[in-house]
């Protein structure tokens, strides 16, 4: 039996590489984040592997530091959206009645406005700082997690084995954590990967629009913005971070697919 399909292996390698670089940025980045070390838009050389940016900072170092910011913000937002969305989603599914109605209608309402528009509206009055960004993205995105978690939990909650546990007299805690959760987990884990990608794209888009991470702090969307003028002169510096975003998104996607396939076979905890 093949343990790791090629696509998953590829995805896993890239994902680990990006996360590793983000964690170890202070050790592996050749120059400081905002250190001006050369002329603007120098081509790639032995000294500057990816060349320099619009004001002469080493692009490789900016990329590594920027990846750290992007991945950190996206990961925090994902954890927040996940924690909030799945807790409330499970709560709504198990409680039912007016609690479910109130939460579900609230989420419908939040989803009736595209999340980028909502974020822009809120950011027009809030100070644009990392905690605010994480909070805004996390809360807006938790609506999608809520819907999924609720749907999965409702599906599982009507199963006869949950009814059997209730007839046995089990407490709410056992029913949620022992009967429902283990069976609702695998779609949620895969969803976590998708939410993370979404958060990466979201923060990059905001930064690209100038409304996300503020300079001099580097992040991938911001690097695109800083170097976009170069494009018309044929300088591809802005394409590099955009390419990094795309490869990160695709590799996390591949890993999430693999996790879903692996855990959705119902042979219990042994894995297949």
Candidate list 10, 34, 79, 201; residue touching other proteins; CB under 8 A: 201
Tokens of 169: 């007299």
Least separation, in Å, of the C-beta of 28 and other proteins? 24
Q: Is 11 exposed, middle or buried (0-12, 13-18, 19+ CB in 10 A)?
A: buried
Candidate ranges 18-26, 36-44, 81-89, 116-124; the one touching other proteins (CB under 8 A):
116-124
Report how far residue 120's alpha carbon sits from residue 43's, in angstroms, rounded to the nearest whole number: 35
Least separation, in Å, of the C-beta of 67 and other proteins? 15
Q: Is 14 exposed, middle or buried (0-12, 13-18, 19+ CB in 10 A)?
A: middle
156, 180 Cβ separation under 8 angstroms: yes
Taking CB under 8 A as the rule, does residue 27 contact other proteins?
A: no
Partnered with residue 52 across adjacent β-strands are 58
Binding positions for other proteins, 136-165, rule CB under 8 A: 159-161, 163-164
Question: Nearest 5°: phi and psi at 53?
Answer: -95, -165
Tokens of 135: 């909070």
Taking CB under 8 A as the rule, does residue 108 contact other proteins?
A: yes
Who's near 249: CB < 8 A, 6+ residues apart?
197, 200, 201
Candidate list 43, 114, 131, 215; residue touching other proteins; CB under 8 A: 114
Least separation, in Å, of the C-beta of 26 and other proteins? 27
Least separation, in Å, of the C-beta of 200 and other proteins? 9
What does the DSSP 8-state code read for residue 164?
Answer: H
Candidate list 27, 168, 173, 216; residue touching other proteins; CB under 8 A: 168
126, 132 Cβ separation under 8 angstroms: yes
Taking residue 139's Cβ as centre, other Cβ atoms within 10 Å add up to: 19
Candidate ranges 9-17, 26-34, 68-76, 221-229; the one touching other proteins (CB under 8 A):
221-229
Q: Which residues bind other proteins (CB under 8 A)?
A: 1-2, 108-110, 112-118, 120-127, 159-161, 163-164, 166-170, 178-179, 182-183, 197, 201, 204-205, 208-211, 221, 224, 228, 231-234, 236, 238-239, 242-243, 245-246, 249-250, 253, 261-262, 264-272
């Amino acid at each position: 039996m093949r343990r790791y399909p090629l696509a998953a292996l590829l995805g896993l390698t890239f994902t680990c590489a990006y996360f590793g670089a983000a964690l170890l940025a202070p050790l592996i980045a050749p120059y400081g984040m905002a250190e001006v070390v050369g002329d603007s838009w120098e081509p790639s050389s032995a000294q500057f592997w990816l060349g320099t940016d619009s004001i002469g900072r080493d692009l490789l170092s900016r990329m590594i530091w920027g990846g750290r910011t992007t991945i950190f913000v996206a990961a925090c937002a994902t954890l927040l959206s996940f924690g909030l969305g799945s807790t409330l989603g499970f709560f709504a599914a198990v409680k039912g009645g007016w609690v479910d109605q109130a939460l579900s209608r609230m989420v419908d309402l939040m989803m009736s406005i595209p999340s980028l528009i909502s974020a822009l509206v809120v950011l027009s009055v809030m100070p644009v700082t990392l905690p605010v960004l994480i909070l805004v993205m996390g809360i807006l995105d938790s609506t999608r997690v809520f819907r999924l978690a609720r749907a999965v939990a409702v599906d599982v909650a009507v199963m006869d084995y949950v009814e059997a546990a209730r007839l046995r007299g089990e407490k709410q805690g056992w029913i949620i954590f022992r009967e429902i959760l283990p069976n609702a987990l695998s779609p949620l884990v895969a969803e976590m990967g998708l939410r993370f990608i979404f958060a990466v794209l979201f923060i990059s888009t905001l930064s690209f629009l100038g409304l996300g991470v503020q300079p001099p702090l580097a992040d991938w969307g911001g690097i695109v913005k800083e170097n976009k003028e170069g494009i018309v002169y044929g300088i591809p510096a802005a394409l590099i971070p955009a390419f990094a975003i795309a490869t990160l998104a695709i590799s996390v996607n591949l890993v999430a697919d693999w996790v879903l396939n692996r855990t959705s076979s119902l042979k219990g905890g042994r894995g297949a």
